[in-house]
Amino acid sequence: MKLKVYADRLSQPVRAVIIFCEVNGIEYEEIKVDLANREHLTPEFSEINPMQQLPAIVHGTFKLFESHAILIYLASSFPGVADHWYPDDVYKRSKIHSVLDWHHSNLRRGPITIVQNSILAPVFRRPLNPEAVAEGEKILSAALSKIESFWLDDNRPFLLGENQPSIADLSLVCDIMQVKLVGETDWNRLLGPYKKVQQWIENTRNATNPHFDELHKVLKELKEKLQN
């Protein structure tokens, strides 16, 4: 009963799920669903996820979508996943739920609005939309500001004052990494004011390497392809 992960590594939440599997030695089969070729809109994939989104998993007869739900399921169902990813302690766990929920309505819409209206617009057959990009940058900055001032403790490497990463660190950092697609200059401009955030991204990367770099290679490759 091998886990199947329906994936396109271009998708931030897909990367979070795959990095989690790799880091925790969870055996899985990656089934590519090409977003640029609209494979997520096929009737076959709708059988897996009627919302036509990635990631989705199938584990035996059990199907599941929404990356936070998937990460929690994997942390709870596979032996050998260290407690810090999704702690048993009800207080720590609740705080993780809190930041994951906050993410949906705050951070998540930032990077995706920026990249889909600029560099990824042609890939998804959309027009460039500088107004939407500006809106996305505002959303991102507001979210980064809250991470810098509230979610990250002064002296601890990960969210919520923790010394080790949780599924929340993985989910949020993978989302922010999408901004790499717009290039180093813009990345530095957008992330520049937030020193704790930059350090936290590095901490999460180090805690999950080499898988983090491996999964994020797709962004470098795509950027080069689109620039040529």
Partner 1 sequence: MSQPCRAVIIFCKVNGIDYEEIKVHISKGQHLTPEFAEINPMKQLPAIADGRFKLFESHAILIYLACAFPGVADHWYPADVFKRSKIHSVLDWHHSNLRRGAAPYVFNTTIAPILGRPLNPQVAAEAEIILSSSLSKLESFWLKGNGRFLLGGNQPSIADLSLVCELMQLEVLDEKDRTRLLGPHKKVQQWIENTRNATSPHFDEVHRVIMLAKERQQHQRLKAAKNEGGSNMKRPLVSRM
C-alpha atoms less than 13 angstroms from C-alpha of 75 in its C-beta half-sphere: 24
> Minimal CA–CA distance to 124: which of 7, 30, 40?
40
Judged by CB under 8 A, which stretch of 14-22, 98-106, 152-160, 186-194 contacts partner 1? 98-106
Q: How far is the CB of 8 from partner 1 (least distance, A)?
A: 18
Of 36 and 51, CB closest to partner 1: 51
Told to check if 138 binds partner 1 by CB under 8 A, we report no
Among 40, 95, 180, 216, binds partner 1 (CB under 8 A): 95
83 binds partner 1, rule: CB under 8 A: no
Cα 151 to its chain centre, rounded Å, is 17
Binding part of the chain for partner 1, among 1-9, 69-77, 126-134, 190-198 by CB under 8 A, reads: 69-77
User: Per rule CB under 8 A, is residue 65 in the interface with partner 1?
Assistant: yes
Tell me the helix, strand and coil percentages in the chain, rounded to 5. 60, 10, 30
The CA R_g of the chain, rounded to the nearest whole Å, is 17
Q: Which is nearer to partner 1, 146 or 156 (CB)?
A: 146
62 is a contact residue toward partner 1 (CB under 8 A): yes
In the three-class reduction of DSSP (H, G, I as helix; E, B as strand; rest coil), residue 159 is classed as strand
Whether the bond into 193 is cis, omega within 30 of 0:
no
Binding residue (CB under 8 A) for partner 1 from 22, 30, 64, 160: 64
Judged by CB under 8 A, does residue 105 bind partner 1?
yes
Residues 6 or more apart from 3 whose CB is under 8 A from it?
21, 26, 27, 28, 29, 57, 58, 59, 74
Q: Does 92 bind partner 1 (CB under 8 A)?
A: no
Torsion sign over Cα 67, 95, 108, 193: negative
Binding residue (CB under 8 A) for partner 1 from 4, 84, 146, 205: 146
For residue 82, the Cα-to-chain-centroid distance in whole angstroms is: 20
Kindly give the pairing relationship between strand 3-7 and strand 56-59: antiparallel
Sole window of 4-12, 71-79, 116-124, 210-218 interacting with partner 1 (rule: CB under 8 A): 71-79
Q: Using CB under 8 A, which residues numbered 166 to 225 contact partner 1?
A: none
Q: Enumerate binding residues for partner 1 (CB under 8 A).
A: 50-51, 62, 64-66, 68-70, 72-73, 76-77, 90-91, 93-95, 97-98, 101-102, 104-105, 108, 146, 149-150
